[in-house]
A and B are shown apart, each in its own frame.
Chain A
């Protein structure tokens, strides 16, 4: 079975400082990994994905994520946080070696990012 852990319910950071939102995953085979952001009363917006290749993935709004196979992690990062980045962030995984559930995304419980002035 595939699973995702987001160990922090909330991350607080001052505007202009770097931010990291943590994600670890568990799959039996090789993962496809995704980050989504959710604003209040809205659906999820795609930020970035890791499929293969370079371990550092760049996405929308200045976000990037680093895939670490040995630590089974896919942490989301941004060099300089903005107040407008405050939202709920979800990490998701798909186990591409499991053809029976190949399209199913499994999400973490989310991390609330609060950026203050």
Chain B
């Protein structure tokens, strides 16, 4: 069990640029989640996948955000035309679906800073 891995750990970019983050879940986990955490707040749910299917998206996930999990393994989260308000920690989590009582295991996150 190598844990959830996220890349990069930090990303600094100018407003208006596109960014893409990657998440590698724990290998046997079939569910993968994306959360966003801003300073002084708890993580807020963005979206989740079961295998390659995206089953739910939060209203926080505007049209500029897109997430994929093409082969049911790693996932990417892309933000197009970044804005100042996108500055946050983006957290990925994974779990093994056995009826929703399993905890989600989190990666160390990607911290995005918009200049």
- Chain A interfacial positions (CB closer than 8 Å to B): 4, 32, 34, 36, 41-46, 49, 51, 90, 92, 94, 96, 100-110
**Complex contact A43–B109 (CB within 8 A):** yes
Beyond A49-B101, A102-B100, A103-B33, is A43–B41 a contact (Cβ under 8 Å)? no
**Complex contact B42–A109 (CB within 8 A):** yes
Beyond A108-B42, A109-B42, is A45–B106 a contact (Cβ under 8 Å)? yes
Closest chain B CB from A52 CB (angstroms): 8
Number of interface residues of B (CB under 8 A): 27
Specify which chain A residues have a CB less than 8 angstroms from the CB of B44 in the assembled complex: 107
**Complex contact B105–A104 (CB within 8 A):** no
Specify which chain A residues have a CB less than 8 angstroms from the CB of B4 in the assembled complex: 43
Closest chain B CB from A6 CB (angstroms): 8
**Complex contact B33–A42 (CB within 8 A):** no
Beyond A90-B42, A94-B100, A109-B42, is A103–B91 a contact (Cβ under 8 Å)? no
Specify which chain B residues have a CB less than 8 angstroms from the CB of A102 in the assembled complex: 100
Specify which chain A residues have a CB less than 8 angstroms from the CB of B101 in the assembled complex: 32, 49, 51
Can you list 6 residue pairs at the A/B interface with Cβ under 8 Å? A46-B104, A46-B105, A49-B101, A103-B100, A105-B33, A107-B44
**Complex contact A103–B42 (CB within 8 A):** no
Specify which chain A residues have a CB less than 8 angstroms from the CB of B91 in the assembled complex: 43-44
B40 (CB) vs chain A CBs: closest residue: A109
- Is residue B107 contacting chain A, with contact meaning CB distance below 8 A? yes
A36 to B98, CA, bound (A): 20
Specify which chain A residues have a CB less than 8 angstroms from the CB of B31 in the assembled complex: 103
Q: Which of B6, B43, B48 contacts A44 (CB 8 A)?
A: B43
Specify which chain A residues have a CB less than 8 angstroms from the CB of B111 in the assembled complex: 41
Beyond A32-B100, A43-B109, is A101–B56 a contact (Cβ under 8 Å)? yes
Contact with A along B88-111 (1 / 0, CB 8 A): 000101000000110111111101
Q: Which of A51, A96, A107 contacts B43 (CB 8 A)?
A: A107
Specify which chain B residues have a CB less than 8 angstroms from the CB of A34 in the assembled complex: 103
A108 to B42, CA, bound (A): 6
